[in-house]
């Protein structure tokens, strides 16, 4: 396969995953800000939504302040923001078109249909209700694309590159949530157990669609250290860092055995996975949750660069 093709497949999947993640963030924030102030405290949730999306600099270059209208516009519809939902779908569709022959018909229909449908939303919905519908639709479109890829693609290197894109993006997103919200998860948090925490914790779990599965796994009320454990170390949880790395390693191994050689990406990914497997939450808290997440994000960026150097350029 040409590395250009691999690159397109990888980014196609990454952009679709990113759009879904942005929709989740917006939905969780919208829900949180709809609560009375007494429950959620004085913090500006729209600010942290921008931070979690990782585009604070670009945002404040355009808007002076983070509020519902600005943030929704910037994260969902702005053409100035290269990572808005709209830009993501457009970039995904451009990538898809470049490798049209490497995609199955179902995948192409899914992404092209999404792109056409996006036009119907114009410059953004006029009401909150419509925005909710839009965010649902974004998530459904991503599910449709992901499902088509899963059900129809030949299990070869092309498939592995799309999966790689999905899981790299997902690991990045989960780590970003943890990075912005880590202070809510520290055991020594000053007002532990108040309503504020409860709603913040549900919001974190909701943004990775894990509120129900949390209760299945722990059978307990929400505890910040268990939430951190769930999002970082539980391989059963499909958006946890551990699960993403399980998949990244699997697909890098498949690529390696298909091409008959392995290199720095495989070695690096295995190292990160090993560290996640061998860590325990109490040790992570001891050495510092924030430091752990920061070093994970650095590792994750490094592996993104390594994969792109080894395969995509």
Could you identify the residue written with the tokens 């549900």? Answer: 202
Contact assessment for residue 106 and residue 143, using Cβ atoms and an 8 Å cutoff: no
Using alpha carbons, select from 274, 271, 275, 266 the residue that is nearest to residue 306. 266
The rounded distance, in Å, linking the Cα atoms of 178 and 222 is 16
Q: How many CB atoms lie within 10 A of CB 21?
A: 28
Q: Which is nearer to another protein, 51 or 256 (CB)?
A: 256
Q: How many CB atoms lie within 10 A of CB 252?
A: 26
Q: How far is the CB of 232 from another protein (least distance, A)?
A: 17
Q: How far is the CB of 99 from another protein (least distance, A)?
A: 24
Q: How far is the CB of 263 from another protein (least distance, A)?
A: 4
Q: How far is the CB of 313 from another protein (least distance, A)?
A: 15
Q: How far is the CB of 173 from another protein (least distance, A)?
A: 25
Q: Which is nearer to another protein, 189 or 270 (CB)?
A: 270
Q: Which residues touch 5 (CB under 8 Å, ≥6 apart)?
A: 99, 102, 158
The rounded distance, in Å, linking the Cα atoms of 297 and 139 is 24
Q: How far is the CB of 283 from another protein (least distance, A)?
A: 10
Q: Which is nearer to another protein, 193 or 264 (CB)?
A: 264
Angle of helix 85-98 relative to helix 3-33, nearest 10 degrees, comes to: 160
- DSSP state letter for 102: G
Q: How far is the CB of 254 from another protein (least distance, A)?
A: 11
The rounded distance, in Å, linking the Cα atoms of 247 and 285 is 25
Interface ranges with another protein (CB under 8 A): 253, 256-257, 260-263, 267, 270-271, 273-275, 277-278
Cα-trace Rg, the chain? 19
Question: Largest Cα–Cα distance of the chain, in whole Å?
Answer: 60
Q: Which is nearer to another protein, 206 or 254 (CB)?
A: 254
Q: Which is nearer to another protein, 123 or 257 (CB)?
A: 257
Q: Which is nearer to another protein, 86 or 251 (CB)?
A: 251
The SS3 of residue 303 is helix
The rounded distance, in Å, linking the Cα atoms of 309 and 234 is 30
Q: What's the N-to-C CA distance of the chain in angstroms?
A: 12
310 alpha-carbon distance from chain centroid: 23
Q: Which two tokens stand for residue 94?
A: 């451009």
Q: How far is the CB of 244 from another protein (least distance, A)?
A: 16
Q: How far is the CB of 270 from another protein (least distance, A)?
A: 4
Q: Which is nearer to another protein, 58 or 276 (CB)?
A: 276
Q: Which is nearer to another protein, 214 or 311 (CB)?
A: 311
């Amino acid at each position: 396969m040409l590395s250009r093709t691999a690159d397109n497949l990888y980014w196609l999947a990454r952009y679709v995953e990113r759009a879904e993640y942005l929709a989740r963030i917006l939905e969780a924030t919208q829900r949180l800000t709809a609560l009375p102030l007494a429950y959620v405290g004085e913090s500006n949730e729209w600010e942290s939504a921008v931070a979690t999306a990782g585009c604070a600099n670009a945002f404040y270059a355009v808007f002076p302040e983070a509020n519902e209208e600005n943030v929704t516009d910037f994260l969902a519809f702005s053409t100035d923001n290269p990572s808005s939902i709209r830009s993501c779908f457009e970039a995904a569709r451009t990538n898809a078109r470049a490798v049209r022959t490497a995609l199955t018909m179902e995948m192409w229909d899914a992404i092209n249909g999404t792109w056409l449908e996006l036009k119907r939303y114009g410059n953004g919905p006029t009401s909150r209700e419509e925005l909710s519908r839009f965010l649902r639709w974004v998530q459904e479109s991503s599910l449709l694309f992901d499902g088509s890829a899963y059900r129809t693609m030949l299990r070869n290197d092309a498939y592995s590159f799309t999966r790689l894109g999905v899981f790299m993006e997902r690991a990045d997103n989960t780590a970003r949530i943890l990075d912005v919200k880590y202070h809510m998860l520290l055991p020594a948090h000053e007002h532990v157990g108040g309503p504020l925490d409860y709603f913040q914790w549900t919001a974190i779990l909701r943004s990775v669609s894990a509120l129900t599965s949390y209760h299945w796994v722990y059978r307990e009320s929400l505890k910040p250290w268990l939430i951190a454990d769930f999002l970082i170390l539980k391989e059963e949880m499909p958006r946890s860092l551990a699960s993403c790395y399980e998949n990244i390693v699997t697909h890098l191994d498949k690529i390696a055995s298909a091409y008959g050689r392995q290199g720095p990406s495989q070695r690096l990914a295995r190292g990160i996975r090993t560290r996640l497997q061998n860590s325990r939450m109490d040790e992570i808290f001891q050495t510092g949750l924030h430091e752990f997440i920061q070093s994970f994000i650095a590792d994750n960026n490094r592996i993104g660069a390594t994969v792109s150097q080894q395969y995509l350029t």
